[in-house]
Amino acid sequence: MDLNGLNTVQKEAVCAVDGPILVVAGAGSGKTRVLTYRIANLIETHDIFPSNILAITFTNKAASEMKSRIESLVGPVSNQMWIGTFHSICVRILRRDGEKIGYGSDFVIYDTTDQKSALKSCYKELNIDEKMTPLKTYQFKISGAKNDMLTPEAYEGLYGGDFREREFIKLYKRYQAKLKQNQAMDFDDLLLKTLELFQKHPDVLQMYQNKFKFIHVDEYQDTNRAQYELVKYLSGRYHNLFVVGDGDQSIYRWRGADIRNIQEFEKDYVGAKVYKLEQNYRSSQNILSLANSVIKNNPNRRDKMLWTDAAEGDKIQYYKAYDEKDEARNVIEQIKKQIRDSGYSLSDFAILYRTNAQSRAFEDMFMLEGIQYKVLGGAKFYDRKEIKDLMAYLKLIVNHQDDVSFLRVINEPKRSLGDRTIEKIQIYASANQMSLFDACGHAVEIEGISGKALQNIQAFYKMISGLRMRLESEFVTTLYDDLIEQSGIVRAYELEKTIEADGRIDNIYEFRVVVEEFEKRSENPNLRDFLAETSLVSDQDSLNDSDDAVLLMTIHASKGLEFPVVFLVGLEDQLFPSFRSMDDEEALEEERRLCYVGITRAEKCLHVSHAKNRNHFGRYEARIPSVFLKEMDAQLMEGKDGMPEIKTYGDKKTKTISFFDIQTPKKKSNLRSAAPQRVKAPENTAEHFSGYKAGDKVTHKTFGSGMVVSMDQAKDMITIVFDAHGIKKLSASMAPLKTVD
DNA sequence: CACCCCCGGTTTTTT
DNA sequence: ACCGGGGGTG
C-alpha cells in the first residue's frame, strides 16, 4: 500500500490497526483520505476480509464516494464491506431480524409528515385538542424522549408521577402502538429498534459483533445517544473502533447529538489511541485565521489549532448590505466579477445561510439575471404533494397495514370518498381488528356504504392488491407506470388544465427517472428498498458534480463539503446566531461552531455579509450585526466601506489572534503546549463550584432569583431554575451570579 | 355527503 | 408552498 501521499500523523493513524482509535480531524485536514486509506490498508496489508469491515458515514453520498475510492484502491472485493449511514445500516439489520421484535421485513419508514399524520390520528382517538397542544410540541417531545432512549414505559417510570405528563405519556404509548400496528418506524425508531433487537436477542448481537471486526464512524461528534450505544454494542467483542471527528464542528445538538461522545472517547474506550490532524489542506491562511478568531471564543473545547502551509490568500471580503435584496445583488456582482477576473465557473461558488427562508432573495435575483443556480434542501422535491402521494401509494402496496399512507391516498385523486365514508371504514376496521386497507376488502359488509362509494372502494382495493401481487415479479418502473395509470393521478391533473397541475405532472415523470436510476444501480432492485432509500435521502445526496450552477444551502447542509468561493450571508443578530439560542450558553456555542463550519468550507475566497434591514415574516425590520462579525479578526478583512464599523461598538474588545500567531510551526507548538494546561486545570474553576451546591439560592444579573439544580464541573456548567425564566444552563465561572443567604 | 374556493398562518438547523 | 377551517354549491 502506497502511503506516500500522507503526512506523518495521517500515516500513523492509517497504520494503527488494533484497539479503539480517535482521529481528531480539524476542518480540511484530510480525514476522508485517512478513513479510506485506513480501510484499504486493512484489506490489502493486513488481509482483513472486507465483509468484516463496517463504515458509518454521515450521508449516503459520503458513503458511495468512500465506497468508490476504496474500490479504486483495492478492487471490487470492497463490495463485501458494509458502508452507509446509521439509519441505512439499521434498516439493513432490521430487514433481516426485525421479526424477532415484532416487525416483518416489509416495514415502512415514516418521515416527519407521516409522523404528524400518525400523531393526528392518536390525537383524535385520545381527544387531545390541537389548539391546546400543537402537533409539533408532542412530535418534538417524542423525538426528544427517543433521543434519550426512553421508551414510553421508561418515560413513564421517570415522569409518571407528574400529572402534567400524563397526557403525553398516553399519547406516546398510543403513537408507538400505532406505528407497530402499521408496521412502520420513524427515523428515531430505526436506531432504537435495532438497539432493542440487540438487547433482547444477544445471539443476533453476537453475530454482528463477530462479523464486524473493524468498525469506523465518521463525524463522530454528531452521534446521539442511541448511535453511541449502537457503536458500543457492535464493537463490544473486538474493540477495533476507529472514529473520526471534530468537536468544533458539532452542529446537531438540537437533534440529540452529544458532543461528550467525542470529548470523552478516551474515557469510554480504555487504551484509546488519539491522533490529531491539525494541518489544513483546504483553505488559505486568512480564511483559517478568521475561523480560529471565531471559534476560540468557545470556552469548552478540546485543544486544537489548525495551521496551513498555504499562502495568506485574499482578504475576507466584507459587505454591509442595505437589505436582503442588496445583499443578493452584491453576491451576484461579486460572482460575475470573479468569473471575469479569475476564471472561476459557476459551480465554484456556494452561498451559505442559517435558515432555508433566506434562499428566496438570492433565487429571485439569480432568476432575474438568468444565472444557473441550485438550492439544496428547503422546498425539497420529495416534499411536493404529488411525490408524497405517490410514495404513500407505493408504501401501501408494500405494506397494506400502513393506515397513514392509506388515509393519504384513499381519496387522492378524488374518488368521492369523503370524511364520513372514511370514518365508517375506520369504525369497521377497529371493530374487526384489521387495517383500513383490509377493511376495504370487506366493504360490502360495512353499514352505510353503498352505490358509487362502494364501487370506488372496491376498485381501489382491487388496484392496490393487484399491484401488490406483482411485487416480486415485476420491474419497479413497470409497477410505477401501472400505478400512475390505474390510480388516475395523472389523468386528474390533466383535467385541471392549469400550469400548476402541469408542473405536478412533470414532477411525477421526473420521479419516474428516480425509480429508473434506482433500478439500474441496484443489484436486486425492489420496491421495498427503493422506498427505504428514498425515505433516507439527505440534501447532499442530490448533489451532482456535473451541474455548472451556483449552490445555495444552509450551513448545516454544507457540512463536509468545500468550495473555492464561499458567501457566508445574513450575519445578523437573532438570525445567526438564531434568536432561539440567545438565552442558552450551550446553544450559542453551537451557533458559533456552525459559523466555524461555514467559514472553513471556503478554499480560496470568503465573503461575509449582513443586511441593515430585512424582510422578516413580511415585516421590514432594522437589523443589528451578528456577534460573530464582532469576533472576526478585522485585520483579515476588507470591504467597500473600509473596516466593518461594527468592530468599534463592541462592548468589550475581544483579543484577536493575528495570523502571525499560527503561521510558523514554532509559534504553533507554543500554543499547543500552552493550551492543555488550561484545559486540564479544572482547579481554576473549582472555587466557583465550591461556592455553589444543589439547592443554593442565587441571583443572576438578567434572570433574577433562582435555585441551583445541578453542576457539571468538567464542563464548567451550572444548571439553575429561575423563578421567572425557567431552567438555564450557564457557565459557572463566567455567569454574573451571586449566592443569596 | 362530497367538493370547491378563499383566507390565514406558517419557517432554525434534518436523518 | 401547503394545510386547515369556514362557508357555499350540487
The 3-state DSSP class for residue A652 equals: coil
Q: From the candidates A36, A227, A249, A656, which is the catalytic residue? A: A249
pLDDT score for A650: 32
pLDDT score for A2: 85
Nearest-nucleotide field for A535 (CA, C1'): B15
Amino acid (one-letter) located at A309: D
Q: From the candidates A601, A630, A715, A728, which is the catalytic residue? A: A601
Quick one: cell of A128?
387531545
Mean of per-residue pLDDT scores for chain A: 86
Cβ density class A369-399: b for 16+ within 10 Å, e for less? eebebbbbbbeeeeebebbbbbbbbbbbbbb
Partners of A654 in beta bridges: none
Distance A408 CA to C10 C1' (A): 25
Quick one: cell of A68?
468508490
- The set of residues, in sequence order, having a beta carbon less than 8 Å from that of A337 and lying 6+ positions away, is none
Preceding peptide of A577 cis, ω within 30°: yes
pLDDT score for A738: 61
Cα A568–Cα A655–Cα A30 angle in degrees, nearest 5: 50
Residue A678 has pLDDT above 90, yes or no: no
A219 is an active site residue: yes
Distance A395 CA to C9 C1' (A): 35
Each residue of A472-507: pLDDT tens digit? 999 999 999 999 999 999 999 999 888 889 999 999
- φ, ψ dihedrals at A327, nearest 5°: -60, -45
Total Cβ atoms within 10 A of residue A122: 21
A477 is an active site residue: no
- DSSP code, position A284: -
Residue A515 has pLDDT above 80, yes or no: yes
Residue A71 has pLDDT above 90, yes or no: yes
Q: Which nucleotides of C are covered by protein (CB under 7 A)?
A: 1-5
Amino acid (one-letter) located at A98: G
Please state whether strand C lies within 7 Å of residue A379 at its CB atom: yes
Q: Please give the protein residue whose CA is closest to the C1' of the nucleotide B9.
A: A617
- The set of residues, in sequence order, having a beta carbon less than 8 Å from that of A239 and lying 6+ positions away, is A19, A20, A269
Q: Provide the pLDDT confidence category of residue A680 given band limits of 50, 70 and 90.
A: very low
Q: Provide the pLDDT confidence category of residue A690 given band limits of 50, 70 and 90.
A: very low
- φ, ψ dihedrals at A186, nearest 5°: -85, 175
Q: Provide the pLDDT confidence category of residue A741 given band limits of 50, 70 and 90.
A: low
Q: Provide the pLDDT confidence category of residue A67 given band limits of 50, 70 and 90.
A: very high
Each residue of A247-286: pLDDT tens digit? 999 999 988 899 899 999 999 999 999 999 999 999 999 9
Nearest-nucleotide field for A386 (CA, C1'): C2
A601 is an active site residue: yes
Quick one: cell of A291?
475561523
pLDDT score for A90: 97
Distance A154 CA to C5 C1' (A): 38
Cβ atoms of A205 and A93 closer than 8 Å: no
Residue A193 and residue A93: Cα distance in Å, rounded?
10
Each residue of A384-400: pLDDT tens digit? 999 999 999 999 999 99
Q: From the candidates A10, A31, A279, A656, which is the catalytic residue? A: A31
The 3-state DSSP class for residue A374 equals: strand
Residue A664 has pLDDT above 50, yes or no: no
Residue A504 and residue A509: Cα distance in Å, rounded?
9
Total Cβ atoms within 10 A of residue A451: 8
Please state whether strand C lies within 7 Å of residue A388 at its CB atom: yes
CA proximity to A577, closest of A546, A555, A561 = A555
Distance A507 CA to B1 C1' (A): 32
Partners of A625 in beta bridges: A572
* pLDDT (average), residues A580-604: 92
Q: Which nucleotides of B are covered by protein (CB under 7 A)?
A: 1-4, 10-15
Residue that wins the pLDDT comparison between A227 and A687: A227
Q: Provide the pLDDT confidence category of residue A287 given band limits of 50, 70 and 90.
A: very high
Cβ atoms of A46 and A250 closer than 8 Å: no
On whether A699 is known to bind a ligand per the annotation, the reply is no
Q: What is the pTM of this model?
A: 0.83
Partners of A273 in beta bridges: A21
Q: Provide the pLDDT confidence category of residue A542 given band limits of 50, 70 and 90.
A: confident
Helix and strand numbers, DSSP H then E, in chain A: 30, 22
Please state whether strand B lies within 7 Å of residue A111 at its CB atom: yes
State percent of chain A over pLDDT 70: 86
